[in-house]
Amino acid sequence: MWSNFFMQEEEGRIGAGGVGGAGGGAGGLTPLKGIRGAKRRGHPPPRMSDSQEGKIKLAFLVAIVGVTLTVLGVGTEFWVELAPPKSFYNNQTCLTAHYGLWKGCVRTLWVSDIDPERESCGPAELPGESNCTYFKFFTSGDNAVIFKKTTMKSLNIAAAILALLSLFMMVTGSICITMSLSKAVQFFLKPASFCFILSGLLVFLSLIVFHQSVLSLLASDHSVPLHHELSWSVACVGSAGTILIVAGVLFIILSLPYSPWERCLPHNRSAT
């Protein structure tokens, strides 16, 4: 009798434990099912609207203008023009020089073609015989001599490196914008804005270093009086730096989760 009693008690405990375990198992599976359901109910990352995409393309067009002007300015040699007085050589021709980041040119002009009111030889755009050579800063490390004045290669190389870094940042920013448009997400707008703003600052820094190199060139020798002026390549690069910074600011505004105009200029709601 006692054996039957103990066997019934153990069967009751096992049955209660089985029910409890089944309930515990169901309870343990409930959070997992909830998590999976939450994952299934999770919203995908928000995609940009057509109007937002149009604004990004417009800002990207502004950035492309800045990149084009930078490439045009960096690739040309009309950064600065150096010219002695017209009467310095006492003949019918005079010499003028212009150079950029990579090469310099010495141009022979006819005095009769120069404006009579102009005291120095030039401008370099006048027709004449030109002799252009690439600087040896990047090959043999030699300085260049222009009108008996010697360049400071460290400053010229620094200006060229800064210009190349700015171009690299422009390419990186363009890749970020292309990925943002192809994926229709705004995640890449902030990195692109950083790249374009930094490239604009590097452009201005390159201009400052180049101007210092010109001043160093003029101070190296005073035997030949020279008139110097920055030319149209510098104007292209300076305009490009401003445009790139503006494009970077536009990308920052477009990357915000809200419209800054609605925050700054709330709409006047009429009472109904």
* Domains in the chain, CATH or no CATH each: 50-258 (1.20.140.150)
The torsion defined by the Cα of 198, 200, 203 and 208, in degrees rounded to 10, comes to -90
The CB-side HSE value for 100 (13 A sphere, CA atoms) comes to 21
Q: Residue 267: its pLDDT value, please?
A: 54
Whole-number average pLDDT of the chain? 81
pLDDT surpasses 50 at 26: no
Q: How confident is the model at residue 20 (pLDDT cuts 50, 70, 90)?
A: very low
pLDDT surpasses 80 at 47: no
Q: How confident is the model at residue 116 (pLDDT cuts 50, 70, 90)?
A: confident
Q: How confident is the model at residue 216 (pLDDT cuts 50, 70, 90)?
A: very high
Q: 266 vs 222, which has greater pLDDT?
A: 222
Q: How confident is the model at residue 105 (pLDDT cuts 50, 70, 90)?
A: very high
The pTM for the full model equals 0.76
In the chain, % of residues over pLDDT 70: 76
> Counting every residue, how long is the chain?
272
Q: Residue 22: its pLDDT value, please?
A: 44
The amino acid that residue 258 corresponds to is Y
Q: 255 vs 30, which has greater pLDDT?
A: 255
pLDDT surpasses 50 at 157: yes
Rounded Cα gap, residues 118 and 244, in angstroms: 36
Q: Residue 259: its pLDDT value, please?
A: 59
pLDDT surpasses 50 at 25: no
Closest CA to 196 of 253, 260, 147: 253
Taken in order 218, 223, 227, 233, is the CA torsion positive or negative?
Answer: negative
Averaged pLDDT for residues 104-133: 88
Q: Alpha helix locations (H) across the chain?
A: 2-41, 50-75, 153-183, 189-219, 232-255, 260-264
pLDDT surpasses 60 at 5: no
